[in-house]
């Protein structure tokens, strides 16, 4: 059977989605709509995977015809395919939606959602929300991803650990900083497997942000470009210390 490709159009920001979840509770999920066998699916992929397709099976358990009006995501990395391009389902009828995730340069645990509206749903209340959780191996780990100093706080060097989680070495071939306010040194602990960045701001009297860009010789494109973020936080953005 031919499968029709339908593109997901981003319509709701993540913040709005979270607000809907909090304010409406479980009624947001399958509220007398299509009944999905699983609304949240986790899967793992190979380090060099480019896309992953996740099937979601559903059934119309109501006593009336339900028609899918639209389905959308806040991430352009997701698209969807409805089996046969069929949008209307009689009582008791079953169907399938396949969510296609373009993995790009994602790594680690990544979760995205697809919202589904039937013709009976209000615009701000999709009757079904499907979550796809992808575990992409982190072969080159930057820890922490963002390192902070507080404006007018205590200055000093901080360590960013770079670790290769693979039996095969991944070597750093180039590195550079985008903001000269942050001086750094790259230390090799074990060539191809473990490194460290020692970073220190020259001035913490004003807020600043920068990146340390790292290029590797990884055979997998996703791990060839890495970044460590460094930031002098604005004073009023520093969390207050409770007495």
How far is the CA of 74 from the CAs of 11, 13, 111, 135, 152, in angstroms? 7, 6, 12, 19, 37
Query: At a CB cut-off of 8 Å and minimum separation 6, what does 126 contact?
Result: 28, 71, 115, 116, 117
Q: What is the pLDDT of residue 144?
A: 97
20 token code pair: 């809907």
Question: For the chain, what are the domain ranges?
Answer: 4-136, 140-237
Could you name the CATH architecture of 4-136?
Sandwich (2.60)
pLDDT digits (tens, 9 = 90+) for 148-181: 999 999 999 999 999 999 999 999 999 999 999 9
**How big, in percent rounded to 5, are the helix, strand and coil portions of the chain?**
10, 50, 40
Does the global pTM surpass 0.85?
no
pLDDT digits (tens, 9 = 90+) for 212-232: 999 999 999 999 999 999 999
Q: What is the pLDDT of residue 7?
A: 38
Q: Are 28 and 21 in contact (CB under 8 A)?
A: yes
Could you name the CATH architecture of 140-237?
Sandwich (2.60)
The yes-or-no answer to whether 4-136 and 140-237 have a common fold is yes
Pairing mode, strands 88-89 and 66-72: antiparallel
pLDDT by 10s per residue, the chain, length 243: 333 334 334 444 444 444 444 333 333 443 478 999 999 999 999 999 999 999 999 999 999 999 999 989 889 999 988 999 999 999 999 999 999 999 999 999 999 999 999 999 999 899 999 999 999 999 999 999 999 999 999 999 999 999 999 999 999 999 999 999 999 999 999 999 999 999 999 999 999 999 999 999 999 999 999 999 999 999 876 565 555
């Amino acid at each position: 059977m031919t499968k029709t490709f339908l593109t997901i159009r981003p319509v709701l920001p993540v913040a709005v989605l979270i607000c809907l979840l909090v304010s409406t509770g479980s009624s947001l999920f399958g509220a007398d709509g299509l009944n999905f066998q699983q609304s949240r699916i986790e899967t793992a992929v190979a380090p060099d995977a480019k896309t992953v397709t996740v099937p979601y099976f559903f059934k119309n358990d109501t006593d009336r015809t339900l028609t899918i009006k639209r389905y959308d995501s806040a991430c352009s990395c997701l698209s969807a395919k409805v089996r046969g391009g069929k949008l209307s389902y009689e009582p008791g009828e079953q169907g399938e939606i396949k969510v296609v995730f373009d993995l790009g340069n994602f790594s680690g645990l990544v979760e995205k959602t697809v919202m589904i509206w039937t013709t009976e749903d209000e615009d701000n209340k999709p009757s079904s929300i499907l979550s796809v959780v992808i575990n992409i191996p982190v072969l080159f780990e930057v820890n922490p991803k963002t390192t902070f100093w507080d404006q007018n706080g205590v200055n000093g060097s901080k360590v960013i650990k770079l670790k290769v989680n693979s039996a095969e070495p991944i070597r750093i071939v180039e590195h550079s900083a985008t903001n000269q306010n942050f001086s750094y040194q790259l230390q090799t602990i074990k060539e191809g497997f473990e490194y460290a960045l020692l970073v220190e701001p020259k001035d913490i009297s004003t807020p600043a942000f920068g990146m340390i860009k790292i290029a590797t010789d990884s055979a997998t494109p996703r791990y060839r470009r890495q970044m460590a973020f460094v930031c002098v936080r604005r004073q009023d953005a520093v969390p207050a210390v409770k007495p």
